[in-house]
């Protein structure tokens, strides 16, 4: 599911069904088209490294591991850390 479609659903689920939301892990990625990487070489390298990190995170989840969450906003750090500790 595209990130812009997924994130509102995840946030809504966290508010309405917190127990269910704790069992689901939404992993945010960049759009996979060639146009997603149009920018300077430095920016493309950064985005590609970021995408590789996301793929490693997804692989860890599939293996049953509990990798630390990636957080997009500083305000989300306490909740993300608490959820990660709960496993």
**pLDDT band with cut points at 50, 70 and 90 for residue 60:** confident
Q: How far is CA 79 from CA 5, 40, 51, 70, 71, in A?
A: 22, 34, 23, 12, 10
DSSP string, 45-56: HHHHHHHHHHHH
**pLDDT value of residue 72:** 67
For the chain, what is the domain count?
Answer: 1
The average confidence (pLDDT) of the chain is 76
- Residue 44 structural domain: 3-86
Q: What's this model's pTM, rounded to 2 decimal places?
A: 0.54
**pLDDT value of residue 6:** 72
**pLDDT band with cut points at 50, 70 and 90 for residue 50:** confident
**pLDDT value of residue 54:** 83
Residue 27 scores a pLDDT above 80? no
């Amino acid at each position: 599911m595209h990130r812009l479609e997924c994130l509102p659903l995840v946030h809504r689920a966290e508010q309405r069904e917190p127990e269910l939301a704790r069992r689901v892990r939404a992993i945010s990625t960049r759009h996979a088209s060639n146009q997603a990487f149009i920018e300077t070489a430095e920016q493309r390298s950064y985005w590609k490294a970021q995408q590789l990190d996301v793929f490693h995170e997804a692989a860890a989840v599939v293996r049953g591991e509990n990798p630390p969450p990636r957080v997009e906003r500083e305000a989300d750090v306490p909740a993300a850390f608490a959820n990660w500790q709960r496993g």
